[in-house]
Structure 1
Amino acid sequence: MPGPFTETQVIVVGAGPVGLMLAGELRLAGADVVVLERLTAPTTESRASTLHARTVEILDGRGLLEPLGDVPNDPRGHFGGIPLDLTLPSSHPGQWKVPQTRIEELLGRWAADLGADVRRGHELTGLTASRDHVEVEAVTAGGATVRLRAGYVVGCDGEDSTVRRLGGFDFPGTDAVRELLRADVSGIEIPDRRFQRLEGGLAIAARRPDGVTRVMVHEFGAVPRRGQPRFADVADAWKRVTGEDIGGGTPLWVNSFGDASRQVTAYRRDRVLLAGDAAHRQMPIGGQALNLGLQDAVNLGWKLAAQVRGHAPEGLLDSYHAERHPVGRRVLDNIRSQALLLLGGPEVEAVREVLAELTGGEDARRHLAAMVSGLDVRHDVGPGDHPLLGRRLPHWELATGEGRVTTAELLRTGHGLLLLLPGARERLEELRTAAAPWAERVRTVTARPVPGGQEAPDTAALLVRPDGHVVWADGDPAGTGVTAALNRWFGAGRRADGPAARKDRAPAWTATRAPATKWRTDMGRLTGKTALVTGSSRGMGRAAALRLAADGALVAVHYTSNEEAAAEVVELIEKDGGRAFTVRAELGVPGDVHELFLGLEEGLRERTGGTDLNILVNNAGVMGGVKPEETTPEKFDRVFAVNARAPFFLIQRALKNMPDGGRIINISSGLTRFANPDEIAYAMSKGAVEQLALHFAKYLGPRGITVNSVAPGITRNDNPVFQIPEAVEQMSGLSAFGRVGEPEDVADVVAFLASDDARWITGSFVDATGGTLLG
Structure 2
Amino acid sequence: MAIDQDCTETQVIVVGAGPVGLLLAGELRLAGADVVVLDRLTAPTAESRASSLHARTVEILDSRGLLERLGDVPRENAGHFGGIPLDLGLPGPYPGQWKVAQTRLEEVLGEWAADLGADIRRGHELTGLTTTADGARATVRTESGRQLAFRAPYLVGCDGEDSAVRRLGGFGFPGTDAGRELLRADVAGIDIPNRRFERLAGGLAIAARRPDGVTRVMVHEFGARPRAGQPAFEEVADAWKRITGEDIGSGTPLWVNSFGDASRQAAEYRLGPLLLAGDAAHQQMPIGGQSLNLGLQDAFNLGWKLGARIAGHGTEELLDSYHAERHPVGKAVQGNVRTQAMLLLGGPEVDAVREVFAELTASENVRTHLAGLISGLSVRHAVGDGGEDGGGSGLLGLRVPHWGVTTAEGGTDTFELLRPGRGLLLLPPGDEARRAELAETAAPWAGRVRTVAAASVTADPVTAVLVRPDGHVVWADGPDAGPLAGALGRWFGPERTGEPAVRPTAPATAGAPAALLTAPAAVPARTGAGAERLTGRTALVTGSSRGMGRAAAMRLAEEGALVAVHYNQDEAAAHEVVASVEKDGGRAFALRTELGVDGDAETLFTALEAELLDRTGSTDLHILVNNAGVMGGVPADEVTPEQFDRIFAVNAKAPFFLIQRALRNMPDGGRIINISSGLTRFANPDEIAYAMSKGALEQLALHFAKALGPRGITINSVAPGITRNGSPVFDIPEAVEYMAGLSAFNRVGEPEDVADVVAFLATDEARWITGSFVDATGGTLLG
With structure 1 as the length reference, what TM-score do the two structures score? 0.72
Matched, 1:425 2:432: yes
Number of the residue aligned with 1:484: 486
Number of the residue aligned with 1:279: 281
Number of the residue aligned with 1:270: 272
How far did residue 447 of structure 1 move? 1.4
Measure the CA separation in 1 of the matches of 2:617 and 2:174.
38
Matched, 1:413 2:420: yes
Does the 8 A contact of 2:578 with 2:587 survive in 1? Answer: no
Aligned residues: 623
How far did residue 592 of structure 1 move? 4.0
Number of the residue aligned with 2:713: none
Number of the residue aligned with 2:108: 106
Matched, 1:29 2:35: no
Measure the CA separation in 1 of the matches of 2:721 and 2:114.
48
Measure the CA separation in 2 of the matches of 1:605 and 1:376.
36
How far did residue 674 of structure 1 move? 8.0
Residues 599-618 of structure 1: matches in 2 within 5 Å? Answer: 610-611=618-619, 616-618=624-626
Q: Give the one of 471, 475, 490 matched to 2:474.
A: 471
Matched, 1:439 2:418: no
Measure the CA separation in 1 of the matches of 2:385 and 2:336.
28
**Deviations, residues 258-278 of structure 1 (Å, cap 9, x unaligned):** 000000100000000000000
Number of the residue aligned with 1:145: 147
How far did residue 406 of structure 1 move? 1.1
Measure the CA separation in 2 of the matches of 1:773 and 1:316.
57
Q: Give the one of 416, 437, 462 matched to 1:459.
A: 462
Does the 8 A contact of 1:184 with 1:254 survive in 2? Answer: yes
Over 3 Å counting, the alpha-carbon distance change for 1:591 and 1:216 in structure 2 is farther
**Deviations, residues 361-380 of structure 1 (Å, cap 9, x unaligned):** 11110110001100110101
Measure the CA separation in 2 of the matches of 1:235 and 1:99.
24
Does the 8 A contact of 2:407 with 2:454 survive in 1? Answer: yes
Matched, 1:379 2:371: no
- Give the aligned residue type for 1:431: L
Number of the residue aligned with 2:405: 398
Does the 8 A contact of 1:201 with 1:345 survive in 2? Answer: yes
Measure the CA separation in 1 of the matches of 2:374 and 2:614.
34
How far did residue 519 of structure 1 move? 7.2
Over 3 Å counting, the alpha-carbon distance change for 1:604 and 1:388 in structure 2 is farther
Residues 44-193 of structure 1: matches in 2 within 5 Å? Answer: 44-193=46-195
**Deviations, residues 429-481 of structure 1 (Å, cap 9, x unaligned):** 1111110110000000011445xx4xx1533210000000000011151x421
Measure the CA separation in 2 of the matches of 1:493 and 1:227.
54
Measure the CA separation in 1 of the matches of 2:578 and 2:47.
51
Number of the residue aligned with 1:699: none
Number of the residue aligned with 2:598: none
Number of the residue aligned with 1:702: none
- Give the aligned residue type for 1:475: G
Measure the CA separation in 1 of the matches of 2:374 and 2:277.
19
Does the 8 A contact of 1:413 with 1:607 survive in 2? Answer: no
- Give the aligned residue type for 2:407: T
How far did residue 189 of structure 1 move? 0.6
How far did residue 403 of structure 1 move? 1.0
Over 3 Å counting, the alpha-carbon distance change for 1:597 and 1:378 in structure 2 is farther
How far did residue 596 of structure 1 move? 2.9
- Give the aligned residue type for 1:484: G
Does the 8 A contact of 1:171 with 1:262 survive in 2? Answer: yes
How far did residue 131 of structure 1 move? 1.4
**Deviations, residues 506-531 of structure 1 (Å, cap 9, x unaligned):** xxxxxxxxxxxx97687977879x99
How far did residue 588 of structure 1 move? 2.8
Give 3-state SS (helix, strand or coil) of 1:136's partner: strand
Give 3-state SS (helix, strand or coil) of 1:590's partner: helix
How far did residue 603 of structure 1 move? 12
Number of the residue aligned with 2:234: 232
Does the 8 A contact of 1:560 with 1:585 survive in 2? Answer: no
Residues 194-593 of structure 1: matches in 2 within 5 Å? Answer: 194-384=196-386, 385-450=392-457, 453=458, 456-477=459-480, 479-497=481-499, 583=562, 588-590=577-579, 592=581
Give 3-state SS (helix, strand or coil) of 2:36's partner: strand
Measure the CA separation in 2 of the matches of 1:349 and 1:448.
56
**Deviations, residues 372-431 of structure 1 (Å, cap 9, x unaligned):** 100110101112242100110011111112211111101001000001112453311111
**Deviations, residues 40-60 of structure 1 (Å, cap 9, x unaligned):** 000000100000000000100
Measure the CA separation in 2 of the matches of 1:445 and 1:299.
23
- Give the aligned residue type for 2:104: R
- Give the aligned residue type for 1:485: A
After superposing the two structures, state which structure 1 stretch, 318-327 or 589-598, moved more: 589-598
Over 3 Å counting, the alpha-carbon distance change for 1:390 and 1:527 in structure 2 is closer
Give 3-state SS (helix, strand or coil) of 1:154's partner: strand
Does the 8 A contact of 2:719 with 2:777 survive in 1? Answer: yes
How far did residue 609 of structure 1 move? 7.5
**Deviations, residues 63-89 of structure 1 (Å, cap 9, x unaligned):** 000111111101011000000011111
How far did residue 612 of structure 1 move? 6.4
Q: Percent same amino acid among aligned pairs?
A: 64
Measure the CA separation in 1 of the matches of 2:83 and 2:20.
26
Structure 1: segments with no counterpart, 5+ residues: 502-517, 532-536, 549-557, 568-581, 622-646, 677-682, 694-708, 717-726, 732-741, 749-765
Does the 8 A contact of 1:413 with 1:609 survive in 2? Answer: no
Does the 8 A contact of 1:423 with 1:459 survive in 2? Answer: no
Over 3 Å counting, the alpha-carbon distance change for 1:219 and 1:112 in structure 2 is same
Over 3 Å counting, the alpha-carbon distance change for 1:78 and 1:715 in structure 2 is farther
Does the 8 A contact of 1:559 with 1:583 survive in 2? Answer: no
Number of the residue aligned with 2:587: 595
How far did residue 90 of structure 1 move? 1.2
Does the 8 A contact of 1:261 with 1:282 survive in 2? Answer: yes
**Deviations, residues 574-610 of structure 1 (Å, cap 9, x unaligned):** xxxxxxxx54799835164992359x97997699984
Over 3 Å counting, the alpha-carbon distance change for 1:186 and 1:90 in structure 2 is same
Does the 8 A contact of 1:399 with 1:405 survive in 2? Answer: yes
Give 3-state SS (helix, strand or coil) of 2:587's partner: helix
Over 3 Å counting, the alpha-carbon distance change for 1:326 and 1:608 in structure 2 is farther
How far did residue 13 of structure 1 move? 0.1
- Give the aligned residue type for 2:58: V
Measure the CA separation in 1 of the matches of 2:742 and 2:367.
79
**Deviations, residues 239-280 of structure 1 (Å, cap 9, x unaligned):** 111111111111110000000000010000000000000000
Q: Give the one of 675, 679, 688 matched to 1:667.
A: 675
How much is the aligned-residue C-alpha RMSD, in angstroms? 4.6
- Give the aligned residue type for 1:712: A
How far did residue 497 of structure 1 move? 2.9
Give 3-state SS (helix, strand or coil) of 2:494's partner: coil
Over 3 Å counting, the alpha-carbon distance change for 1:170 and 1:774 in structure 2 is closer
Number of the residue aligned with 2:600: none
